Amino acid sequence: MLVAPIMQRLAISTGLHFNRDIRPSNEQLHIFHDQLIITVIKALLLYNEGFEDVAKHPSLRHKSIRAIPVGYKTLQFATRASTNEEATVRGNLQYHDELYVTQLKRTPESLSKYAIPSYNDQLTNARIRGAQLLRSKDVDAWERRDIFQLGFGLFHLCLNLVWAILHTHRGSVNELGSLAYFFALMEKKRLGNDQPDYHSLLAALTQILHGLLLNAWVKECGFPSLKSFADSKPDPNSLRNIASRILNTYATPMPEADSPESVKDPAAGEESSDSGSDGEADVLFPFNISLAPAQNPKDDVAYHNIRLLTRELLTVIVLVRAISDGDIGRVEVLLPHLAMMFRGAGCNKYCSEILHFIHNLKHVWTPEFAFEY
């Protein structure tokens, strides 16, 4: 893809607007909600026999949005290792010259023609953006490094997401419902530092989530045990309805007792949202929010924190599953939620990475480039 049209779009692009660019649409919310429901049901099916027939039903499988074609494999071309360090702006510039000019024998003229998608960890992206800013007045697209169109690596996204959740919910061993409490309960080791091994941490978080979800199924299925529930042969709609109730009861934050959400009159007319929404109707949240008087989360901090933890762990599993299935469309649906999760956890750099990516998708990249890469 040519880089010139992309740079022309960048020159006239506007900044992101929350209502127009970031706030999920009704369709995106329903897609996300459907993924959450299926994830809740999968936890039940994974640990209990008797659901084999219903597990094959199409409504209990993730719907493909924009998946990689079956059998597709990305071509890989290895290059020589380099001794240039990449932790600085200067080091990145030197590495680019070594790779493209020295190893690949390309000229600045040929390199200035086409855009190159570059997906990296956050530090590398920050250094490349620093190089682009430093050389913004240089002679051609190659020297300005305009050819590099940046995105975040999906592994690093997952890695920093689970670290952010660990940082937010770690607590202490004496705090009921904290991650430290669950780690001690499960006798998990090597998870005490700020950045533990990704796979060990993900496995522990998945185990915690499955335990919380199975407990919710026991309470909501309406039978003495999950075996009795399986023997009743529930249909897919029944499973989805119970899963939706579990999301509402066990994975939705409780509003403050004196917050506007908790005292809102359901009979009152809906007011329009921010004028920046360009006339779009208010987003309808797909959860069945109860109209009963809200319980003050301060009355039971552990219960409220576990609801927050369950919600965030569900988002992690939905993201990991979408990546595993190779469905970038399902990943894109999660981007606004992930940006807000990172911002809430204090991880402003990865929040900015996601916002940069959303801005590129919606305002900078040509439709052809955005679709292909």
pLDDT tens across 267-315, in order? 444 444 444 444 443 444 444 434 334 466 667 888 899 999 999 999 9
pTM equals: 0.88
pLDDT tens across 5-21, in order? 999 999 999 999 999 99
CA 229 to chain centre: 33
Burial of 219 (0-12, 13-18, 19+ CB in 10 A): exposed
Each domain of the chain, given as residue ranges in start order, spans 18-70+155-257+277-348
Residue 27 C-beta-side C-alpha neighbours within 13 Å: 5
Q: What one-letter code names the amino acid at 335?
A: L
For the four alpha carbons of 184, 185, 190 and 193, in that order, the dihedral sign comes to negative
For the four alpha carbons of 71, 361, 143 and 119, in that order, the dihedral sign comes to negative
Q: Dihedrals φ, ψ of 181, to 5°?
A: -65, -45
What's the pLDDT at 259?
54
3-class DSSP state of 61: coil
pLDDT tens across 236-278, in order? 999 999 999 999 999 998 876 655 554 444 444 444 444 444 4
Mean pLDDT, 10 residues at a time, over the chain (373 residues)?
A: 94 93 94 97 95 92 92 90 91 96 96 95 95 95 97 96 97 93 94 93 98 96 95 95 96 73 45 42 41 57 92 98 95 96 95 96 92 75
Q: Dihedrals φ, ψ of 93, to 5°?
A: -60, -40
CA distances from 334 to 9, 162, 203, 241, 328 (A): 25, 15, 21, 22, 10
Q: What is the distance between the alpha carbons of residues 103 and 84, in angstroms, rounded to a whole number?
A: 14
